[in-house]
Amino acid sequence: MGNTGSGRTNGLDGILSCGYAAAMPQTTSATGACLCGAVTIKAAQFPLQVGACHCTTCRNWGGGPLLAAACGAEVTIDGSDNISVFNSSEWAERGFCKVCGTHLFYRIKENQHYHLPVGFFPEVAFTLANEVFIDEKPEGYTFANKTDKMTGAQLFAMFAPTS
């Protein structure tokens, strides 16, 4: 998400929550499996308000915006021997199932916080609350509900180290 090369990595674990984590969003536990069932992921705190990332990297990864939940570090993975990890930026990596190719996670390297694709958890009723990298979103689609929107520059400024 947001591979802009800015080098600002401090605090990017909230990239899809846009700072809403401080408000302690309502959460649920959620479990999902990849297409072939080789990998199962359980998130202890799956937020019911999720975000969309429109950055070029996310759209290239999944063929469209990444709709994901910022689930933190309390994530349990069964079948980890079936996961391949791609180093997608200096601050994050993305996981895939080696067997079926399902996109499993976007993970912040610094603190091992997971952003999990919402499609992986079909039983969770979530609300799309925010969109990041709105300045990279193509004109060919728009979400129907009202969301909070941030450009890439606004997002990185929010997580920039303070001096």
**84 lies in a domain?**
yes
> Could you read off the pLDDT of 33-57 as tens digits, one per residue?
999 999 999 999 999 999 999 999 9
Place of tokens 């959460």: 27
Residue 15: its pLDDT value, please? 54
CATH code at position 122: 3.90.1590.10
Query: Domain range for residue 46?
Result: 12-152
**5 lies in a domain?**
no
**CA 13 → CA 82, 92, 98, 128, distances in Å?**
24, 9, 25, 18
Mean pLDDT for the stretch of residues 102-123: 94
**114 lies in a domain?**
yes
**160 lies in a domain?**
no
Please report which confidence band the pLDDT of residue 65 belongs to, taking 50, 70 and 90 as the band edges.
Answer: very high
**How many domains would you assign to the chain?**
1
Instruction: Give CA torsion, residues 106, 44, 132, 121, to 10 deg.
Output: 80
| Statement: the pTM of the whole predicted model exceeds 0.75 | yes
**122 lies in a domain?**
yes
**106 lies in a domain?**
yes
**115 lies in a domain?**
yes
> Could you read off the pLDDT of 133-151 as tens digits, one per residue?
999 999 999 999 999 999 9
pLDDT greater at residue 144 or residue 20: 144
Pairing between β-strand 66-72 and β-strand 27-33 as defined by DSSP bridges:
unpaired
Any residues with CB less than 8 A from the CB of 93 and at least 6 apart, and which?
85, 86, 87, 106, 107, 109
**32 lies in a domain?**
yes
